Amino acid sequence: MTITKDIKYIGVNDHQVDLFEGQYDVPNGMAYNSYVILDEKVAVMDTVDQNFGQEWLGNLAAALEGRKPDYLIVQHMEPDHSANIDVFLKAYPEATVVASSKAFTMMKQFFGTDYADRRIVVGEGDTLSLGKHTLTFVTAPMVHWPEVIVTYDSYDKVLFSADGFGKFGALDVEEDWACEARRYYIGIVGKYGAQVQALLKKAAGLDIAIICPLHGPVLTENLGYYINLYDIWSSYQVESEGVVVAYTSIYGNTKKAAELVAQKLEAKGIKVALNDLARCDMHEAVEDAFRYGKLVLATSTYNGDIFPFMKEYIHHLTERNFQNRTVGLIENGSWAPMAAKVMKKMLEGSKNLTFTDTTVKIFSAMNEKNLEEIDALVEELSK
């Protein structure tokens, strides 16, 4: 793939992976992106996953057309991008590694060496001239690892954005960008919104025509659309109007209440995302909670606590800095209901949450009072 006259894509598609990072379902695989800049000097931007080293080296050799690379620029040390650093440096013994100081510390951890005899340490604002292409390095700590840098090529106005603007899915599969980019962002980077906001502020001062991420497609058009979504996600704003109803149910009674809330909201023309937490993709349900502005949590008291899938769900939300939302609660218990109290306690550290005045309290199965409570909850959520 040709990005510009001098920049070529040399990444790989992975259709072997089933769970990215051991937890995220990726039915359409993953792309591990790498690029080469061909100028008076040749720079390679990152490597790929360990399972694709030879394919990647083949792609690189084809792009080089007999030339030798001068630099390997390492933006991110997560193994899906860094695993072939040592393989590359053995294949090209005259090449120099360019990375942040923290990245070299991690190389020592991964490979047993920090390449002290063939490295350039870069930090904020440092530059590297390849000829007509001058690369400027921008530090991006905790987006989403501490060693991350992104790289700006002023000649072609390209931002090499590391894991920023990445998405799930291989490049040989067509799918909606926002859906899988949102799930990727919320799941993997979501905790670090403040750090992403800081990076966006730095990027705002650059004249960017192309974004080259380490996962997902190269972005060449409507960049404002992608940047705006990243701004929304990283500032924990509401992206879409709607209500997420997330529930667990043991014998079906809590499920009936959750479904009734969803039906009544939909009857009012409100978008509803209904998630059975024991059966749905947990990370899709987490994505929904960060996309929409309102959330209903419905679960049973269980061992004096709450049902395990709901507990896991709330943990996923809070560890990603869930905030700026309206939350309604439905609890069920046959003799000592505790669910609403436990859920509120779990969420007490979250910023700017507004709880509805109505909490639906079910004792075993719904009764007439519960139906009235559900109507009141729906009315509050409709405002």
Which class is domain 7-234?
A: alpha beta
Average pLDDT over residues 170-180: 95
Structure tokens at 125: 């604002």
103 phi and psi angles, rounded to 5 deg: -65, -40
Which residues, including other chains, have CB under 8 Å from residue 190's CB and lie 6 or more apart? 233, 290, 320, 321
Predicted confidence at residue 1, as pLDDT, reads: 85
Average pLDDT over residues 328-352: 96
Cis geometry, peptide bond prior to residue 144 (ω within 30 degrees of 0): yes
Structure tokens at 299: 């679960």
Coil, strand or helix at 184: helix
Long-range contacts of 236-240 (CB under 8 A, 24+ apart): 236/193, 236/290, 236/321, 236/322, 236/323, 236/324, 237/324, 238/291, 238/292, 238/293, 238/324, 238/325, 239/182, 239/290, 239/291, 239/292, 240/271, 240/291, 240/292, 240/293
Beta bridge partners of residue 298, listed in sequence order: 247, 330
pTM above 0.85, yes or no: yes
Q: What is the pLDDT of residues 196-251, one digit of tens each?
A: 999 999 999 999 999 999 999 999 999 999 999 999 999 999 999 999 999 999 99
354 phi and psi angles, rounded to 5 deg: -110, 120
Banded model confidence at residue 179, pLDDT cuts 50, 70, 90: very high
145 phi and psi angles, rounded to 5 deg: -120, 160
Q: What is the pLDDT of residues 126-171, one digit of tens each?
A: 999 999 999 999 999 999 999 999 999 999 999 999 999 999 999 9
What DSSP string runs through 5-69? Answer: SSEEE--EEE-S-SEETTTEE-TT-EEE--EEEESSSEEEE----GGGHHHHHHHHHHHHTT---
Coil, strand or helix at 351: coil
Banded model confidence at residue 80, pLDDT cuts 50, 70, 90: very high
Q: CB of 281 within 8 A of CB of 313?
A: no
Which residues, including other chains, have CB under 8 Å from residue 373's CB and lie 6 or more apart? 358, 359, 360, 361
Q: CB of 343 within 8 A of CB of 314?
A: yes
Domain boundaries, the chain: 7-234, 242-382
Average pLDDT over residues 242-267: 98
Q: CB of 48 within 8 A of CB of 59?
A: no
Give the C-alpha separation, 83 to 47, whole Å: 7
CB atoms within 10 A of CB 324: 16
CATH topology of domain 242-382: Rossmann fold (3.40.50)
Q: CB of 233 within 8 A of CB of 181?
A: no
Average pLDDT score, the chain:
97
Give the C-alpha separation, 353 to 356, whole Å: 10
Predicted confidence at residue 340, as pLDDT, reads: 97
Residue 131's region, left for phi above 0, alpha for psi from -120 to 50, else beta, is left
